[in-house]
Amino acid sequence: MATSNDKKVYAQFIRNPKIEIAGIVKGKWIRITGNAVVDEAIEVKEAMLEANSFLKNTYSVNDGKLAVFYIDRMKAVVSDFSGEPVELEDL
């Protein structure tokens, strides 16, 4: 995840890093939980900008604004109506 360190979402992640993301498509749904952790490594910021070129219009590696997060203690559960949910942790 990437954002600016002057946005409300950044302040929320810093105050309370617990996150939950949920979505559904074609009768299956996923819930991802964990803790958002800021990664200040230059290599990580460079990789984020390379993987998401649209961010280059707004951010640069050394601009002092780009904040990159990863999910620590990640757990994902994929469910549908056909049986047991599939659980994934810290892949």
Q: What is the pLDDT of residue 90?
A: 76
Distance CA 16, CA 90 (A): 20
- Per the structure, the count of domains in the chain is 1
Q: What is the pLDDT of residue 91?
A: 61
Range of the domain at 78: 2-89
Task: Answer yes or no: are the C-beta atoms of 48 and 55 closer than 8 Å.
Answer: yes
CATH number at residue 48: 2.30.110.10
Q: What is the pLDDT of residue 89?
A: 84
In degrees rounded to 5, what are phi and psi of residue 56? -65, -20
Q: What is the pLDDT of residue 70?
A: 93
pLDDT digits (tens, 9 = 90+) for 21-45: 999 988 899 999 999 999 999 999 9
If DSSP codes are grouped into helix, strand and coil, which group holds residue 46?
helix
pLDDT digits (tens, 9 = 90+) for 57-77: 999 999 999 999 999 999 999
pLDDT at 1 over 90: no
Q: What is the pLDDT of residue 34?
A: 96
Residue 89 Cα to chain centre, angstroms: 15
Task: Answer yes or no: are the C-beta atoms of 85 and 22 closer than 8 Å.
Answer: no
